Amino acid sequence: MNAQFSDGALKSLSVLKNPQTSPPRSKRIFILLGILIGLLAISTAVLAVILAMKSKTTKKT
């Protein structure tokens, strides 16, 4: 019996055997943390703009 693998399966197996090709776990954590902080900053800025526009329209009394 011969096992047949697709190219993708062989690449993932080689990555598991050779961990030097994948980034270290600590680097992944910093990348994910940076993405989350960036999303938080963008959402905060958008919310600040929306609230500023809302306060401008309600002060016309």
SS3 4: coil
Residue 45 lies in a domain: yes
Domain range enclosing 46: 24-61
Q: Is residue 6 part of a domain?
A: no
Q: How far apart are CA 37 and CA 43, in angstroms?
A: 10
**SS3 state at 28:** helix
**CA distance linking residue 22 with residue 28, whole number of Å:** 10
How many domains does one find in the chain?
1
pTM: 0.53
Q: For residue 9, tell me if it sits in a domain.
A: no
Instruction: For the chain, 61 residues long, give each residue's pLDDT as a single digit of tens.
Output: 566 666 665 555 555 555 566 668 889 999 999 999 999 999 999 999 999 999 888 765 5
60 within a domain of the structure (yes/no): yes
